[in-house]
Amino acid sequence: MEQKVLENFLEFEGKTAVVTGACGGIGSAIVRKLCKNGARVACVDREEGDSFKEFAESTAMFSADVSDEESVKETIEQIKKRFGQIDILINAAGVGGMCARTEEYVFSDFKRIYEINVFGTFLMMKYVLPVMQKQQKGAIVNFGSVSGQRGYPYEIGYGSSKWAVIGMTKNAACENGKNGVRINSVSPGWVDTNMMKKTIKGYRSVVKNDCMENVNLGPMERPAKAEEIAHAVLFLCSDKASYLNGTDILVDGGKTLE
């Protein structure tokens, strides 16, 4: 009964949402929540998949590299032709990259993190914002991280990229406050996804003894489920968050309290 009430709390009937990184752990959870709440979803990922067959009538897959400007531009045009509007943009595409001390970090890996996490978020906003501005309405949610709020060892690439995303969110929110377009970000802590597993593996390659000392789960003593992050994202996209603009919502189970 509680789950049914939760699913019907946010309603997106008749709205079109674009979700990048749609086939990832958090991205796919967001897509499913949007579909269950009535949205039509343009699922954007580097590889087309069949993850959302159960929502075939309300989803469409678009293969795109968010770090490539022409790919982004062409994909947004395809989405506009298919759905006629874009009400929501969720930039969930992201990579964690390698774990290493600053002086040992490989520059090409550092650049690739920025190409996807920072430039990809920028390009999606660049080409979706004119659509929303014309409509005089829209909601954009970007992905920061607790790593983009505090310094953590061995994450100079990922952490600094998330600082940049949070900053871009605030810049764009200042520019669009008067035209009906709201722009916010979500900063998760540890989330039980493949990225978490890869990050812990990366820590082990740097810290030979006990890498788990670098994994603080916070007072709740567990990582988030992807669905728990999705709930926060959907709230920011909804009319319930109509006066939230330029904010970063921390969804970390209290991790940053310790």
Give me the helices (H) in the chain, please: 2-7, 25-36, 69-83, 107-113, 120-135, 156-176, 194-206, 226-237
Q: What percent of the chain has pLDDT over 70?
A: 89
Q: Which pLDDT score is estimated for 29?
A: 95
DSSP structure class, residue 218: T
Q: Which pLDDT score is estimated for 10?
A: 52
Mean pLDDT of the chain: 89
Q: What is the residue type of 11? A: E
Q: Which pLDDT score is estimated for 198?
A: 74
- What global pTM score does this model have? 0.91
Say what the alpha-carbon torsion angle 196, 201, 205, 210 is, to the nearest 10 degrees.
90
Is residue 132 pLDDT above 60, yes or no?
A: yes
Is residue 120 pLDDT above 80, yes or no?
A: yes
Distance CA 62, CA 60 (A): 7
Edge-to-edge strand list for the sheet holding 59-63: 59-63, 40-45, 16-20, 88-91, 138-143, 181-188, 248-251
Rg (CA), the chain: 18
Q: What percent of the chain has pLDDT over 90?
A: 69
Q: What is the mean pLDDT of residues 218-223?
A: 78
Q: What is the mean pLDDT of residues 93-100?
A: 91
Distance CA 79, CA 85 (A): 8
CATH superfamily, with its number, for domain 2-250: NAD(P)-binding Rossmann-like Domain (3.40.50.720)
Is residue 234 pLDDT above 90, yes or no?
A: yes
> pLDDT tens digit string along 238-256?
999 999 999 999 998 888 8
Q: Tokens at residue 14, please?
A: 């008749």
Q: Which pLDDT score is estimated for 117?
A: 98
Tell me, yes or no, if 158 is annotated catalytic. yes
152, 158, 203, 243: the active-site residue: 158
Distance CA 185, CA 166 (A): 7
| Closest residue by Cα to residue 228 from 250, 247, 198 | 250
Q: Which pLDDT score is estimated for 195?
A: 80
Give the Å distances, CA to CA, from 171 to 107, 163, 167, 208: 27, 13, 6, 40
195 SS3 class: helix
Q: What is the mean pLDDT of residues 39-58?
A: 83
Q: Which pLDDT score is estimated for 183?
A: 98
Measured distance between the N- and C-terminal CA atoms of the chain, rounded to whole angstroms: 35
Q: Which pLDDT score is estimated for 159?
A: 94
> pLDDT tens digit string along 18-32?
999 999 999 999 999
Confidence of residue 1 (pLDDT cuts 50, 70, 90): very low
Q: What is the mean pLDDT of residues 143-171?
A: 94
Query: Out of 87-96, 179-188, 197-206, which region has the weakest mean confidence (pLDDT)?
Result: 197-206
Q: Which pLDDT score is estimated for 194?
A: 76
| Closest residue by Cα to residue 165 from 126, 118, 228 | 118
